[in-house]
Structures are given as structure tokens and as C-alpha cells.
Amino acid sequence: MSNILFINSVQKNCGVHDYGERTFRILENSVPYNFIYKEPNNLEEYNALKEGIKPEAVIHNYHPLTMAWLPPFEPTSTVRNFMLHHEGTELNLKPDYWLYVDSLHSETGNKFAIPRPLLEGIKEIIECDTYEGNGKFIRHRIVGNEVNLTPKKNIIPVISSFGFGFGNKNYGLITKMVNEQFDEAILRLHIPRAYYGDRSGEATAGVLPGIQNEMKNPNIKLEITHDFLPDIKLLYWLSESSLNVFLYEQMEGRGLSSVIDYALSVDVPIAINDSAMFRHIQNPISNVANNSLKDIIAAGTDHLKVYKQKWSNDNFLRKYESILNETL
């Protein structure tokens, strides 16, 4: 069995880091390949890992903000270097192959397009301490039953959105639409701080006045939370919604938004606009330019099944394995 080293960034509260964790969670189910997950903090740690593991290939979940320490690759006949491409230009790193996380990207030469890593079959992980004697405790991780994400039947509509606290997420616009289109509703906005760009919380604080200014309907209850949620808790939270809404600014040139990976992983309608970051799920039913929020709720989720099937964990894993079969 070939060892494939998967390198992720160290810092949490980061969309790129979370993408890497979701990806490995699927890849570790491979039979022909042994994927090994590591988070080196610098080039020295990275080189030591390669020396110790001696992988046949290294997959780098790269972004210039998260792995600025990574130098250009030297051509080698022993290790194949794969670079995940999230957004922006291709820097002078010269890997053997690029893996575009944009599933719409054209595959040419040494460039492959990767499906989206949805969250299927997520299991509860319980951490507990066991006493080992002599005053020592050892922490154990116990994987429990698969999470039950059955959608809730809400008497009062629950409209939700989540993402880091940047103005280009248009939380104020979401608030405005909910206040105008519903006689009564619960509006939930989960806005954690991002490590890159909002460590101090200034950006998040900057979006709050725009939200409050649009709260003009006294029958709309607003709930705003900021704690960074693990995947399981975020999926539970999304599954409690009547509708999950994302209305980003246009943002041409940016990568695909990972919020859709989470929203598609629960059986709840999704409302979007025509932002370039949602180009992979554009359809006339989900777009607020064509329908009211109430209409999108009423349309259900049948039209979203094509995306869930296309980006199933099985298809995601098969794509990676086929790329490795072809290139190693």
C-alpha cells in the first residue's frame, strides 16, 4: 500500500484548514492508498515528516496565507508533489500536479478538477480521560454513532446563515430580506472570528451595525452567535433551519465558498444569489433573483440532490484514487 502524505495548515478558524480536514476525512477511507495526515508548522518539520514517512506522493492543502514557508519544489523522480489550488494565481511553486478545488475547472495537462468534500456519515466523537495510575490520565477519543441530522419541523420559520465576519458576506442584506418577507421568523446568524483577517474581532464587530439597522420588523427574532463550532455542531445547527441563506458580494476571481459544502450536507433548502463563489450550484430554484425566500422553502430540496450525488464521498474518493493511479 502506497503512503500518501496529506499536508494541512496548522491554524484553526480558517476555511482552508477546514477544507483540508474534510478532505482527509474522506481520503482516509481509501483501500489502495494509505493517506497520512500531518500539520507541519514550518519547513523543518515538513522535511522531517517526508524523511520519516517516505511517501510516494505529497498532497499540499496550500494557500499563500497558510503555508507561506513552502518553497518552490525541486523536480524529483521519487516523490510526486500535488498542490491544492483554492484561488488566486498559480505561484512559482512548480508542483508536479495541480488539484483545483473548483469542480468546474477544465482539466488539462497537469491540472485536475476536484469534487466538493461534503460531510457524509459524520460520527459523534466523544473525548474522555481514563485514569492510568500514579496520578496520570490518558485522553481517549471514542467514535460513536452516526449523527442524526433529520430536518426539524419549525412552526415559526427559522432562517439561518453562517460565515466569518466580513462585510462581503452581506449579512445586512439577509436581515433586510427576512424582515421584509416574513410576518414572523427567527433569524440566526453564526459569525465566528477568522484567524486570518479577524483575530481581534474588529471585522466581525464592523458587520453588526448593518445587521441591527435592518431589524425593522418587531416580529423577527434575531440570534447572533460567535463561537467557532466543530463540524458536528455546525451541521446540527444548519439542520434546525427552515432555510439556509448565503448572499455574498459578486467577488469575481475568488474560490468556491465552503459554506455550501456544509449547507448541502443537511436536507434543508438553500437560498443563494449570483455571487461567483456560488457558481457551482447556480440553479433557478435557489436563486433569490427568481424567488422569494418563502418560495425557496416551499420548493424543498429535490433539486439539490444532483449536487449531492455528483459530490458524494464515494465520487470524491474515486476521483483522488483515479488521479493517483494515473500519475504515480
Residues β-bridged to residue 220: 185
Q: Which CATH number fits domain 2-115+311-327: 3.40.50.2300, 1.10.287.130, 3.30.70.270, 3.30.70.3040?
A: 3.40.50.2300
Position 232 scores a pLDDT of: 85
The model's pLDDT over 23-76, given as tens digits with 9 standing for 90+, comes to 999 999 999 999 999 999 999 999 999 999 999 999 999 888 888 898 888 766
pLDDT at 125 over 70: no
Residue ranges of the chain that CATH labels 3.40.50.2000: 158-310
pLDDT at 209 over 70: yes
Residue ranges of the chain that CATH labels 3.40.50.2300: 2-115+311-327
Q: What is the 3-state secondary structure (H, E, C) of the chain?
A: CEEEEEECCCCCCCHHHHHHHHHHHHHCCCCCEEEEEECCCCHHHHHHHHHHHCCCEEEECCCCCCCCCCCCCCCCCCCEEEEEECCCCCCCCCCCEEEECCCCCCCCCCEEECCCCCCCCCEEEEEEEEEEECCEEEEEEEEEEECCCCCCCCCCCEEEEECCCCHHHCHHHHHHHHHHHCCCEEEEEECCCCCCCCCCCHHHHHHHHHHHHCCCCCCEEEEEECCCCCHHHHHHHHHCCCEEEECCCCCCCCCCCCHHHHHHCCCCCEEECCCHHHHHHCCCCCECCCCCHHHHHHHCCHHHHHHHHHCCHHHHHHHHHHHHHHHC
Rounded Cα–Cα distance for residues 211 and 190 (Å): 12
Position 72 scores a pLDDT of: 84
Query: 158-310 has which fold?
Result: Rossmann fold (3.40.50)
Q: What is the mean pLDDT of residues 256-284?
A: 94
Rounded Cα–Cα distance for residues 27 and 11 (Å): 21
